[in-house]
Structure 1
Amino acid sequence: MSILVLGSGQLARMMALAGHPLGLHVQAVDVADNKIVDPISKDVINCTLDTAINEANVVTVEFEHIPEALLETVHASGKLKPNVESILTGADRVREKTLLEKLNIANCPFSIVTDVEQLDAAMEKLGEKLIIKASRDGYDGYGQWRLQDKSQLPKLKEALSKLDLQKVPLIVEKMLSFEREVSLVAVRNVEGEFAFYPLAENLHYEGQLHVSIAPATEVDEALNQQAQDIFTKLAESLDYVGVLAVEFFQIGQQLLVNEIAPRVHNSGHWTMQGAETCQFENHLRAVRGLPLGSTKVKSPTAMINIIGCKDFDRDMLSIPGCHLHWYGKTARAKRKMGHFNLCADNYKELAKVIGALSEYLPAEYFPMLKDEAIRLAEF
């Protein structure tokens, strides 16, 4: 059984590792040059793109920002899962917002801006505190601007005037005061069956995900059901197949959709040790037509991203419940180099494991660990 992944980064790598025990052979496409590579070793495989597509049983993606020509080529093969509409929706905030409004799913109040002069009207409608996002190609805090008050608007307009907003419009959102961000990672197969992981709580620093805690603390059945209902509505509308992630802002007991990601997701990495079947295996099961695996939680888990850091003491592996996943990349600022999964019997024990790990790591790269250990110790 052969699966071709568009994109050859760490998510393709983790899919390949998860597929191997199932007898699933995973190859990847480097979307920069359309070369076929081994997603683990990164070695180039002597095979053309057309041959790889023809020989694959199914083609999937590791991220949504796929060059349009490549996406159309694979779409024409009839083998793409999730479908092209799902991928395009995840890659374009205008499409995403349009879908949310069509389905009457709560999200941040917004305006679409195709000319900088429309920013005045957007501010009049939404207020002075705004988050402005490029509709395409923005992630991990890139392609985003924050406006705290009206006095900053002229300088921001000057900066944004250099962009082609007709080609890539802006989504201007009201800056809301929310309690936290949570995400739901779940999977849907061709038959329309679902398997849900629990909500994870996500902690960001400078626009990037640093820590996910799963299951999220203080989640009652009503909140969990609300998230699953929204997920179901989105997935059924898109006729989605595979793992999908939905990020929410929580305000009281209401969840507002922040964004959707049509793929395996960073906030689901905790499933590699914390659930009976990890998100990568379940994605492969879904797109290949195999039975979905159990999403039962094995233990409370913290996923901690290693960002831009390559020098730390591997002796932390002596900590019970500590698992390292290293991606083998060259270090640079804000680059995800790997992640830790920390597992424990309960949140108090998890707090101790996080605290123990923080003693091995340079604080400037892991600024949230000690505070999160203190918070979890209360549960």
Structure 2
Amino acid sequence: MKVLVYGSGQLAQMMYLAAAPLGVIVSAVDVFTETVVDPVSKKPTGVSLSQAIYDASAITIEFEHVPEHLLLEADKSGKLYPNVASILAGADRVREKVLLSKNKIPNCDYLIINHVDQLDGVVAALGEKVIFKASRDGYDGYGQWRISTAAELLALRHEFSLLDLKKVPLIAEKMMQFEREISLLGARSKDGRVVCFSLAENLHHEGQLHVSVAPITKLSDTLQQKANDIFATLATSMEYVGVLAVELFQCGEELYVNEIAPRVHNSGHWTQQGCSTSQFEQHIRAVLGLPLGSTEVIGVSAMVNIIGCTTFNRDLIGIPNVHLHWYGKEVRVKRKMGHINVIADSHANLGLKLKQLIEFLPLEHFPKLEGEATRLQKSSGFVY
């Protein structure tokens, strides 16, 4: 069996590594050159894209911003999972909002801005604290603007007037006073079976994910079930096949969808060592029509992103149950270079293990880690 992945970054590489033990061959597509490459070495395979499509048992994506003509070409084969509509919903915040509204899924109050004159009504409708998001091509905090006062909106008006808002509208969202950001990853099979992973708690810095912890602290059966129900509603509505990520805001016992990602996701990397089946293997299983795997957790996990940094001590892998995943990229600011998975038997012991990890890292590149380690040490969460 062969799987062709559109996109040739670290997610394709990790799908390749998860698929190999199943006897599944994964190739990737550099979508900028439309060249079929090896997911690890990134070297061209010499196989044409049309031949790779023909040879594939299934075709999938590692990120949602694949050029639309490539998606439509892949869709003609009947092998593309998830489907084009699902991918486009994840790539376009306007379509995403329509999907959430159609399925009555709670999300942030918002306005769609396709002309600067519409800015005049934003504060009256949403209040002074607003986040503006480009409807397409935004990620890791890019394509976002925040205001806390009406005066700040006036300052943004000129910048927005230079954008083509007809082509790429803005979503203006009311800033919610949420308790924490969490995410749920799950999978839906071709026959409609849905399985979900445990909720993960996510810490961001400058719009970029830095640390995920799963299961979340203070996890209740009610909260997990609410998240599972949201996932099942969305996945079934889209006739989705594969792994889907749903990012959520928690306000008390209520959950609001922030955004979705129609693919394996950074906040699910903890599953590589923290679950019976990783998100990457689960996605391969789903798109090939194989039985979905168990999502039972193995202890308590933290995933720590390595961002814009190579100057850490690799002796950190000497700490028991600490695992380094390196992507092999050239370093640059805000670039995800790799991640570290840490496993423990309780949240408190996970905090202790993160304190050990800190000794091997330049903390200026890991601004959320020490605070999270301290928080977890004080936790009375799960013991496995």
Which category describes the TM-score, using the shorter chain as reference length? over 0.9
Equivalent residue number for residue 293 of structure 2: 293
Report the Cα distance in structure 2 between the residues aligned to 1:62 and 1:317, rounded to whole angstroms.
27
Matched, 1:51 2:51: yes
SS in 2 for 1:46: coil
Matched, 1:91 2:91: yes
Equivalent residue number for residue 305 of structure 2: 305
Identity %: 58
Equivalent residue number for residue 113 of structure 1: 113
Paired letter, 1:148: S
Equivalent residue number for residue 27 of structure 2: 27
Equivalent residue number for residue 213 of structure 2: 213
Report the Cα distance in structure 2 between the residues aligned to 1:120 and 1:139, rounded to whole angstroms.
26
SS in 2 for 1:247: strand
User: For the Cα contact (< 8 Å) 1:321–1:344, is it kept in 2?
Assistant: yes
Paired letter, 1:188: R
SS in 1 for 2:364: coil
Report the Cα distance in structure 2 between the residues aligned to 1:105 and 1:291, rounded to whole angstroms.
29
User: For the Cα contact (< 8 Å) 1:303–1:339, is it kept in 2?
Assistant: yes
Paired letter, 1:152: E
SS in 2 for 1:195: strand
Paired letter, 1:341: N
Equivalent residue number for residue 69 of structure 1: 69
Equivalent residue number for residue 334 of structure 2: 334
Equivalent residue number for residue 178 of structure 1: 178
SS in 1 for 2:141: coil
**Superposed CA offset, 1:55-87 (max 9, x none):** 111100001001011111111111100000000
Paired letter, 1:74: A
Report the Cα distance in structure 2 between the residues aligned to 1:195 and 1:245, rounded to whole angstroms.
12
Paired letter, 1:73: E
**Superposed CA offset, 1:93-133 (max 9, x none):** 00000011111110000000001110111221001110000
Structure 1: segments with no counterpart, 5+ residues? none
Report the Cα distance in structure 2 between the residues aligned to 1:224 and 1:184, rounded to whole angstroms.
9
1:153: Cα distance to partner?
1.5
1:49: Cα distance to partner?
0.8
SS in 1 for 2:82: coil
1:315: Cα distance to partner?
1.2
Report the Cα distance in structure 1 between the residues aligned to 2:197 and 2:43, rounded to whole angstroms.
34
SS in 2 for 1:364: helix
SS in 1 for 2:333: coil
Equivalent residue number for residue 37 of structure 2: 37
Matches within 5 A, 1:190-339: 190-339=190-339
User: For the Cα contact (< 8 Å) 1:321–1:353, is it kept in 2?
Assistant: no
1:154: Cα distance to partner?
1.8
SS in 1 for 2:267: helix
Report the Cα distance in structure 2 between the residues aligned to 1:68 and 1:227, rounded to whole angstroms.
30
1:347: Cα distance to partner?
1.0
Report the Cα distance in structure 2 between the residues aligned to 1:11 and 1:369, rounded to whole angstroms.
23
Report the Cα distance in structure 2 between the residues aligned to 1:68 and 1:115, rounded to whole angstroms.
25
Equivalent residue number for residue 136 of structure 1: 136
Report the Cα distance in structure 2 between the residues aligned to 1:343 and 1:12, rounded to whole angstroms.
24
1:195: Cα distance to partner?
1.4
Paired letter, 2:24: L
Paired letter, 1:374: T
SS in 1 for 2:216: coil
TM-score (norm 2): 0.98
Equivalent residue number for residue 382 of structure 2: none
SS in 1 for 2:76: helix
1:321: Cα distance to partner?
1.3
Report the Cα distance in structure 1 between the residues aligned to 2:173 and 2:256, rounded to whole angstroms.
12
Count of aligned pairs between the two proteins: 379
SS in 2 for 1:165: coil
Structure 2: segments with no counterpart, 5+ residues? 380-384
Report the Cα distance in structure 1 between the residues aligned to 2:256 and 2:110, rounded to whole angstroms.
12
1:193: Cα distance to partner?
0.6
Report the Cα distance in structure 1 between the residues aligned to 2:313 and 2:378, rounded to whole angstroms.
29
Report the Cα distance in structure 2 between the residues aligned to 1:226 and 1:196, rounded to whole angstroms.
12
Report the Cα distance in structure 1 between the residues aligned to 2:366 and 2:314, rounded to whole angstroms.
15
